[in-house]
Amino acid sequence: MAEKGEKRGVEIVRWAGRISAGLAAGLILFIFIGEGIAEGFAPFLQMTSRETLMMVAFAVMWLGLVLSWKWELTGALLTIAAAVAFYLLDYLFSGTFPRGPYFLIFSSPSLIFLYYGLRSRQAEE
């Protein structure tokens, strides 16, 4: 009986991750589309190498959030790696880390998926 309750709890964690990742990925997409409509997409073509590298890291973070719906552990690791890369790139280029918790908030669903993915692997063994 306890095993059934534990499985249900883990599934609730999975869906909490999916919902939060969907909201984060949707908000990121909404921001990109809004910026594209407001300013056009020409600024994306005129980015510096710093901005391009950081944008790639941010896009990979978004991709990790989306992939987490199907492959929880892979998506979580991709999101975490991209968030770390984003912070390291910003530090390398500017000597400071990004201000505010926003990028960490966007990548936080990956922690839920990381937990779920590791927990699922334990259950398989």
Q: Which amino acid is at 121?
A: R
How far, in Å, CA of 109 to CA of 91, rounded? Answer: 23
pTM: 0.84
How far, in Å, CA of 41 to CA of 8, rounded? Answer: 45
Query: Do the Cβ atoms of 116 and 17 come closer than 8 Å?
Result: yes
Query: Do the Cβ atoms of 68 and 76 come closer than 8 Å?
Result: yes
Q: Which domain holds residue 79?
A: 2-124
Q: 32-63: per-residue pLDDT in tens?
A: 888 878 777 777 778 888 888 988 998 999 99
Closest Cα to residue 116, out of 82, 52, 61, 72?
A: 72
**Residue 2 pLDDT greater than 70, yes or no:** no
Q: 106-118: per-residue pLDDT in tens?
A: 899 999 999 888 8
Which pair of structure tokens corresponds to residue 101? 């918790």
Count the domains in the chain.
Answer: 1
